[in-house]
Structure 1
Amino acid sequence: MKILESGVTLGADEKQELADLVEKMNKRKVIENHPYAISVIQIDGKPYYTTYVADDSKKDGRRKISAQKREHLENKIYEDYKQKTTLSFDMVCKEWLKAHKSEVKPQSFQRLMTDYNRFIPNCNFAKKPIKSIEALQIREYLQKTIIDEKLGEQAYKNLKTILRGTFAHAVERKYILINPMRDLTVSTVNLAKPKKKAREEVVFTIKERDLLRDYITKDSENYGDTVPYSILLSFQLGLRVGELVALKWSDISKGTIHIQRQEVIYDVYDDDLNKTKSSVHEVVEYTKTQAGERILPLTPEAKRILDKIKEWNKIHKLKSDFIFVNASNHNFNRQRINTCLYSYCEKVDIIKKSSHKIRRSVISSLLDNLANKKAVQEFAGHENIETTFNSYYKNISDDDDLITGMCACL
């Protein structure tokens, strides 16, 4: 190596000699780090050296190789390593996605594919051999992407998930010996800060809530299905809309309702990562998180709404166990409910807001009026109280009421 540092010009023979030396050193390093033991077996009285190399096509993920001489076996190990390490980052990333597809929920895999398509094809090391990518390149790419794409905290985490997953997969498959992201630190000072939305955009104030409920209650009697009742029930239970449309009559027992399933939406990908279906709606027998499964008490108003729905379904001879169904006995999807809610917002002349804003409003009202904040967290189905307070709570009092209260206190 001193020859390189001295700046001496090398001839062709010397360059070849140096290349051979580097190759020999690389081979020795690969053999030293080979994860499988080398054994000697006797076949017809002759010694054979055997070991394994990684091979995804085999059931146990490895393939046996052998040679009569140890040197020849080591050559086979090294050639296998060199062949695998010519794989580009993009190729290994796709391989990881294919392997990971069966390990996650469909909606989670869709998010991975969305992030892959957003970031990886234009990544500056996507086509480079994965063995040549170093921590410095990754850090520079992440820092540049944070600024160029104006990444927020969640988008940045999603990008890192793909990078970490790919490099961990490469180590596991023996494509590389060391994960370049293992000790990588990147400054996040340039992450985009979320813009704070006006209160009117994220919750229904008390006056808006009452105005909307009064209008929907009157309109529901002549509406063509039970969608208006789903909105009214949402104001009582504060459910995620995916939980709301998945409710069944069998969930109700002794004045309570069991929240235990949800509707999910996802795209379908085949084994080659080609999208074959878009926006598939499916009701699954699990909630968003473990805390999402909960039993909620039914208020008198919630019971009245459910009785109205049951009566409507009976008149129209709907026999599904799902509470909210159309004329074909198919449960509503979340778009149906939000479309109806947007229409009602326009009719009462308030800002259009989704059903999630109803959920936020209900949780905020409970936090204002209940002393037991832990009970509100459990009602909301949140993993921790910080989510309930920091992500959901907003003041839903109207400005006039707020000013009156301030004048009384100050």
Structure 2
Amino acid sequence: MNEKRKTIRAQSEEELLDKLIPLYFQDSHLDKLTFYKLYEEWLEYKKTVINSPNTIKRHTQHYKKYFEPSALHDKKIKRIDELLLETECNRIVKEFNLTRKEWANIKTILAGMYSYAIRKKYLLENPMEKVQIHVKFKQIVKKTGTTETYNTDELKNLNQYLDRMYTETSDTIFLTVKLNFLLGLRVGELVALKWEDYCNINHLHIVREEVRNQDTNTYEVVEHTKSSRDRFVVLVPKAINLLQKIEHIGEYIFIKNGKRITSRQVAYVLEKYAERQGLTTKSTHKMRKTFARNLNASGVPLDCIRELLGHSNLNTTLGYIDNPLTEEETYSLISNAL
């Protein structure tokens, strides 16, 4: 009874309750709530609001690698202040030599946990809002168009190969690859296209994608895109001509041996081409970057490219833009300019 009383003041009843509720719970749940227990609570909540089991698995892997060995893991939440958080965050970046992007992905866990704690009234303030990274991030060498896209000559040679293989085999897979250089879709969106998405002569409606279950290594189609937003992409005459060559034999546009073509099969075409040409394989994502780069080089407005790619942030689109020309073409352009 000799405990010193604490005066709690607020300008409104709502604000007063916001301050009183954490105090009410501090001797029960909050008193026992550790960093790890909060993580578990947040992850269970996260499972109810997202549609991606792969995201949950990635969070689990990141927590086990970066936070389970840390000083935060067994610490009670009410004993973790911004300085301890900041110390551990800086240690993780330094110890694992993380890039800024890698840290941003890992920080998603902390941001989510503490936002959840505020909403649950476990905490009054979010210490993550004041955490700063003072150590240096790992420096990365910016990738160039040489490795990230197909230049003018490479794309010409690849298209000739795809045309030849389609003529020899009548296999739709070669048209599928060729078409995506004119659509710029994520490969999962490409192979999930249905004839019903061919909504009119000039557009395709992008509403779903194929995803890989990392636990079972199986592929399935889900009724949403990566960004959870549908969009329309323009069909240029070349793309329309390719679509008209494909026989309408099922609900999906791209069919091989009676089954939907998968993203893995698309990747295999590019791998086989590179092997036969003695080149380094370029991933399916490089088709998407080549599409964006070619539009930019032809003067298509950046915001239009962003919409076609389905990006919410223009900075993401800018990361796709590089020089589409060969070294000779670039040299000639610079020489003429100067």
Q: TM-score band (shorter)?
A: 0.7 to 0.9
- Is the contact between residue 247 and residue 261 of structure 1 (CA under 8 Å) also seen in structure 2? yes
Pick aligned residue for 2:66 from 100, 105, 119: 119
CA contact (8 A) 1:226 1:324 kept: yes
Give the one of 137, 140, 147 matched to 2:87.
140
Q: TM-score when scaled to structure 2?
A: 0.85
Tell me if the contact between 2:145 and 2:323 (Cα under 8 Å) persists in the aligned partners.
yes
Higher RCO (CA < 8 A, seq sep 6+): 2
8 Å Cα contact 1:143/1:187 also seen in 2: yes
Between the aligned partners of 1:158 and 1:256, the Cα distance in structure 2 is 34
Counterpart in 1 of 2:162? 216
Cα–Cα, structure 1 residues 86 and 226, in superposed 2: closer, same or farther, change >3 Å? same
CA shift, 1:144, in A, is: 0.8
Q: Contact 1:164 / 1:181 at 8 angstroms: preserved in 2? A: no
Give the 5 Å matches for 1:169-188. 169-173=116-120, 176-179=122-125, 181=127, 183-188=129-134
Q: Go from structure 1 to structure 2 and tell me whether the alpha carbon gap of 1:92 and 1:320 turns closer, same or farther (over 3 Å shift).
A: same
| Paired positions, count | 332
Matched residue type, 1:221: T
Letter in 2 for 1:242: G
Amino acid at match of 1:347: R
Alignment partner, residue 70 of structure 1: none
Compare 242-251 and 179-188 and name the one that shifted more: 179-188
Asked if 2 retains the 8 angstrom alpha-carbon contact of 1:134 and 1:180, the reply is no
Counterpart position of 2:216: 278
Give unmatched runs, 5+ long, in structure 2.
Answer: none
Deviations 1:329-386 (Å, cap 9, x if unpaired)? 3x22212211221111222233210121111112111111135443333333332443
Task: Look up the equivalent residue of 1:309 and give its one-letter code.
Answer: I
* Secondary structure of the structure 1 residue equivalent to 2:216: strand
- Give how far 1:280 is off: 4.5
Note if 1:325 corresponds to 2:255.
yes
How far apart are 1:164 and its partner, in Å?
3.1
Separation in 2, partners of 1:105, 1:336: 25
Distance in 2 between the 1:144 and 1:307 partners? 57
Instruction: Report what 2:328 is aligned to.
Output: 400
% identical equivalent positions: 27
| Aligned twin of 1:340 | 269
The DSSP-based 3-state class of the residue aligned with 1:393 is coil
> What are the equivalent positions in structure 2 for 1:35-114 lying under 5 Å apart?
81-82=27-28, 84-106=30-52, 107-114=54-61
Distance in 2, Cα, partners of 1:195 & 1:89 = 35
User: How do 1:378-397 residues align onto structure 2 when only pairs under 5 Å count?
Assistant: 378-388=307-317, 390-397=318-325
> Shift of residue 296 of structure 1?
2.7
How many Å separate the matches in 1 of 2:303 and 2:78? 50
Root-mean-square deviation (CA, aligned residues, Å) is 3.2
Contact persistence 2:99–2:139 (CA under 8 A): yes
Q: Which residue of 2 aligns with 1:60?
A: none
**TM-score w.r.t. structure 1 length?**
0.71
AA matched with 1:212: L
One-letter amino acid matched to 1:399: E
Read off the aligned partner of 1:210 and give its amino acid letter. K
Q: What residue is the counterpart of 2:235 in the other structure?
A: 298
2:147 aligns with 201
- Structure 1 residues 257 and 177, CA gap change in structure 2 (3 angstroms): closer
Please tell me whether the aligned partners of residues 172 and 254 of structure 2 are also in contact (alpha carbons under 8 angstroms): yes
Normalized per residue, the structure richer in strand is 1
Tell me the equivalent position of 1:43: none
Q: CA deviation at 1:255?
A: 3.4
CA distance in 2, matches of 1:169, 1:379: 34
Runs of 4+ residues over 6 Å off in structure 1: 30-33, 35-38
Instruction: Provide the rounded CA distance (Å) in 2 between the counterparts of 1:369 and 1:167.
Output: 45
Whole-Å Cα distance in 2 between the matches of residues 402 and 385 of structure 1?
Answer: 26
Partners of 2:232 and 2:99 lie apart in 1 by 35
Partner of 1:161: 108
Give a deviation string over 1:45-68, Cα, whole Å, max 9, x none: xxxxxxx989xxxxxxxxxxxxxx
Q: 8 Å contact 1:367–1:376 — kept in the other structure?
A: yes
Answer with 100-109 or 375-384: which moved more. 375-384
Aligned to 1:364: 293
With over 3 angstroms needed to count, the CA separation of the structure-2 counterparts of 1:164 and 1:349, relative to structure 1, is same
**Residue in structure 2 matching 1:238, options 161, 164, 184:** 184
Deviations 1:210-230 (A, max 9, x none): 001101110123348422111
Greater Cα radius of gyration, structure 1 or 2: 1
Summarize the Cα distance change of 1:384–1:83 in structure 2 as closer, same or farther, 3 Å threshold: closer
Equivalent residues of 2:181, 2:291 under 8 A apart: yes
- Residue of 346, 349, 354 corresponding to 2:283: 354
SS class of match (2:127): coil
Change (3 A) 1:92 1:375: closer
